[in-house]
Structure 1
């Protein structure tokens, strides 16, 4: 539409389509008729009217060729007018139609494949005909918050996807009859279902089953999963279940298991963990005894494991966690252990470790060499950390210690990893509390940029360069992007970093950001080369220009891109100071 015309200002004349006898496609968005529409073409194959404004269709509308009907956010109350002529309809979308109080009789829609009634909040009952249909493939009844009644039984042999998520007043799920092996996804999240019918075990083709937030579901039958050999995803989080069913051990293809927010009274039956490969376990509340953590020792192929908020202490920590040789992601946030066990060093594949808000954690050591990311945001008791020398390129490593007040660099400049020139080379990026550049940085400057000329007789012993910036970031400032740029003899290397945890409170606005650089990507040769090759005054840069000056010219800058969340605030994120340090091989 032309600029300045709002869709809600436009309207269709009552007889606008009266002469369009052969109209096959009609798609409108937010356009309303001046009065009740009197005519729509019987030849329509595709009707998409977002915000259809009438309660009913025109009484003389007989859409015998209609295949696609979408009335999203409409005011339709019933589509009974002419429904006996919808023999070719395959796609019916009446989602978020707040006045719809009855589902159509699906027996009059023999070709229907996709039914979407999401968000129809006035819908109370699903028509009995919906329990039996030959061609229905997808059925979306999610967020129908007043839906209470389903068909007593269903036999939808071609159904592949079925969701009732968010139907908060639905207390009973239908019995399964006949052959429904095509059903792959069933979502019952946040319903009021109190139990599951025993016939649900016949859904042998099920791949994803979600019961998350079914807070009235107190138990499930022991053998409920015995026939679901293809199940890959199972979410039973935030239910009232007190014990996991033993048949969960028979889910030989299970990849993800979520049991977050449950309060199990006794440990679950032991499961053959060899059948639980690549399982991702999560639990956010309750006692750590709810899961038999010793079972973790059998998860030899697990790649992701989350034990967030499991009340873990040193005593309850899984003793054999070091046997998880394939572990890459480990989430231990919001637990109460003071240190991690020494067996962590056996996790040779571990790359990502999350420890946010482990407020009792005091020491962080015994980490494997391949570790490349550690997030310890909010570990307020942390006093000591030590990372092993990386066996890979240390430039890619990243360690976050925001709101770890006892690691304040200004008070603890003798701490490991930034106390000596040799230990600096173990870092890629590290963020710590503090406002001063550490003493080991011999070259310092006020502001966000620094230019340094180094006169050395030889550059062969240069291992890398570390740049340190003192940041000030106040509460009310959106997630800042840290832009890092390093130039050596005119060759620029730029990177940027975004951190969710750099929105510190007013009482701790100061951080230091350290970035270690040992290599760069040569665009001319398309190779990764050591950074010291740029410092050789005889080297030729990718630009084709030769550095003929004596010495080496180094330029560094760190800037912050941020957005004020409080427009009234006049405080901005700042870079106050910058430091540069050359790490030499002979000091390693």
Structure 2
């Protein structure tokens, strides 16, 4: 016998000791069964490669001899009631994958844990483990480490998680610097506080770092040396005050809900950055180097202050605006050359439709009792109509929920490859609507506009200083629109509220 699956056997109260006699067993599945212990004889499975014990809610301990299963390559403990792992656990020298997320009774890892020299993937989300053993840095082949904890979001003004009265602060262990093969790190809500030391600088292989919902106030200057880092996610790090220089290969940077953030280093070297999220960074006054980000596709700044909004609008030139697909920032008007809609598509001879640009002004009434938990505003949609029949409905990607009730301007640009653009036929109409009934009460669609981009409308690459208004490219007209915002106008946006 190679495989044995008895998952979901609700009456299996005990695994028989005779299971150790199945010498040829390679894969054993015992998911969702009510047994409380495993027999010591399970260690006699000398060829076992995969063991699944997911959602075994009565299982609290593994046998002391568990480490003798040294051929084991994949172990699934997710959702079990395991309280601790035996000291022999480190003898699983061939273990490559260990999944023990939502083992909500697991408080510690054994000192031998660092002996798992073959371990590549470790998933331990939502456990009670808070301190890692000193041997943890010996996991020389570890590539993926996911150890996020709840809550993922903090909603209270004090910054203390609503599900935890006394958050336990922890420090980043020094042994982290030895994880030279680590590529993905997810340590959200781990209670990391103070200043993160330079232990990260040696993680030369790391590509994705998610430290959201933590309590540290600064990042090491050595962060710039992480040459392979592609994604840096610091969502809801409310004590973070400044952002040091970043590695030039970074593609995604999230600083949403970093309420204390005051300064950002020059971003001009981040030539391939395609997403920047600064939602609710209320103390940031400027984004130096923004005008150099030629690859930027998504820029989210809802809930930022009026000074920063004005500074960013001045930096938005023709080149980045042509590449941007999603842009959000404080604002209470849309370009006057946009149509209010619905807009009917008319096929033009020898001129293909190259894109659609939608602009909306949205405000949230935070005085309503409804507590908005979603990361995006989901109430605004675009529809493609044939006569009165809706053929296609698309929810606009309005990422970032502002803490303020002030007006927020969103511009969504869809290229020719988008399904909404590809399905246009002569006589079809497009309109912008508010979802009814809304997911959240108090979302107000104050203004909207539609502009169809045809071949030749946005293809001019040179300077456009001498061109007339009707000759300007779409991206240049957008740049002129943003540069037309004045300081007095930005201030009035910051002071306005929803009635």
Q: TM-score range by the shorter chain?
A: 0.5 to 0.7
How big is the shift at 1:428? 0.9
How big is the shift at 1:197? 1.6
Whether the 8 Å contact between 1:225 and 1:251 is mirrored in structure 2 is yes
Deviations 1:112-156 (A, max 9, x none): 6131313x4454322222244223333233333x43122134122
Query: What's the TM-score once normalised by structure 2's chain length?
Result: 0.66
Label 1:348 to 1:172 Cα distance change in 2 as closer, same or farther (>3 A).
same
| Secondary structure at 1:224 match in 2 | helix
Q: Distance in 2 between matches of 1:137 and 1:500?
A: 49
How big is the shift at 1:339? 4.9
Aligned partner (choices 165, 168, 181) of residue 276 of structure 1: 181
Q: Distance in 2 between matches of 1:233 and 1:278?
A: 10
Where does structure 1 lack aligned partners over 5 or more consecutive residues?
1-110, 453-463, 485-494, 522-556
| Secondary structure at 1:247 match in 2 | helix
Instruction: Name the structure 1 match of 2:80.
Output: 191
Aligned partner (choices 8, 26, 38) of residue 137 of structure 1: 26
| Secondary structure at 2:216 match in 1 | coil
Instruction: Name the structure 2 match of 1:428.
Output: 324
Whether the 8 Å contact between 1:253 and 1:276 is mirrored in structure 2 is yes
Instruction: Name the structure 2 match of 1:14.
Output: none
Aligned partner (choices 339, 363, 372) of residue 274 of structure 2: 372
Instruction: Map 1:22-37 onto structure 2 (within 5 A).
Output: none
How big is the shift at 1:480? 4.8
How big is the shift at 1:200? 1.9
Instruction: Map 1:91-110 onto structure 2 (within 5 A).
Output: none
Label 1:578 to 1:279 Cα distance change in 2 as closer, same or farther (>3 A).
closer
Aligned partner (choices 196, 219, 225) of residue 114 of structure 2: 225
How big is the shift at 1:203? 1.6
How big is the shift at 1:235? 2.7
Instruction: Name the structure 2 match of 1:175.
Output: 64
Deviations 1:178-201 (A, max 9, x none): 863432211223333232122222
Q: Distance in 1 between matches of 2:114 and 2:257?
A: 36
Q: What's the C-alpha RMSD, in Å, of the aligned pairs?
A: 4.4
Label 1:158 to 1:124 Cα distance change in 2 as closer, same or farther (>3 A).
same
Whether the 8 Å contact between 1:560 and 1:573 is mirrored in structure 2 is no
Label 1:381 to 1:142 Cα distance change in 2 as closer, same or farther (>3 A).
farther
| Secondary structure at 1:417 match in 2 | helix
Instruction: Map 1:329-408 onto structure 2 (within 5 A).
Output: 329-337=231-239, 339-344=241-246, 347-364=247-264, 366-367=266-267, 368-390=270-292, 392=294, 394=295, 397-402=297-302, 404=303, 406-407=305-306
Aligned partner (choices 424, 443, 446) of residue 337 of structure 2: 443
Q: Distance in 1 between matches of 2:404 and 2:245?
A: 39
**2:462 counterpart of 1:585:** yes
| Secondary structure at 1:270 match in 2 | helix
Query: What's the TM-score once normalised by structure 1's chain length?
Result: 0.57
In our comparison, the structure showing a higher alpha carbon Rg is 1
Structure with bigger helix share is: 2
How big is the shift at 1:296? 0.5
Bigger RCO (CA 8 Å, 6+ sep):
2
**2:136 counterpart of 1:248:** yes
Q: Distance in 1 between matches of 2:83 and 2:149?
A: 17
**2:98 counterpart of 1:209:** yes
Label 1:301 to 1:177 Cα distance change in 2 as closer, same or farther (>3 A).
closer
How big is the shift at 1:435? 3.2
Instruction: Name the structure 2 match of 1:469.
Output: 359
Instruction: Name the structure 2 match of 1:415.
Output: 311
Q: Distance in 1 between matches of 2:192 and 2:219?
A: 12
Of stretches 146-155 and 268-277 in structure 1, the one that deviates more from structure 2 is: 268-277
